[in-house]
Amino acid sequence: MEDSKSSENINQIKSDARKAIWIFTVLNLSVIFLAFIQAFDLVFAILFIQIVLFLVWLLPVALYQIIKKNHSTKVAIYKALGSYRSIMEQVSW
């Protein structure tokens, strides 16, 4: 029972991480498109926000999962990406 619950939890975390990667990919493709149409101010702003999110959110979440929770690096990255997906769901475009 515990193993199936744990595997369901890991599968949910992996699913969230995949969704976060897709969000990140679409966002970066839009940045490339904006760079092609010469909207450099917006490109700079989006890239700055992504860098800040990485340094302030993703990196600390991953390090917390590795150091305090003693998860493997792979699981910590999945959890950090899943939290990134949650952040992007909260953003109102």
Per-residue confidence band for 67, with pLDDT thresholds at 50, 70 and 90: very high
How far is C-alpha 43 from the geometric centre of its chain's CA atoms? 19
CB 49 within 8 A of CB 61: no
**Average of pLDDT values for 45-58?**
88
Total Cβ atoms within 10 A of residue 36? 9
**Average of pLDDT values for 51-64?**
90
Cα 37 from Cα 42, distance rounded (Å): 11
Model confidence pLDDT, tens digit, residues 30-45: 999 988 898 888 888 8
CB 12 within 8 A of CB 79: no
DSSP tag of 68: T
Is the pLDDT at 93 greater than 70, yes or no?
no
Cα 73 from Cα 17, distance rounded (Å): 14
Number of structural domains the chain divides into = 1
Is the pLDDT at 23 greater than 90, yes or no?
no
Among 2-6, 19-23, 29-33, 37-41, which stretch is predicted with the lowest mean pLDDT? 2-6
Q: What is the 3-state secondary structure (H, E, C) of 37-54?
A: CCCHHHHHHHHHHHHHHH
**Average of pLDDT values for 57-72?**
92
State which residues form the domain around 31: 2-90
pLDDT of residue 85: 77
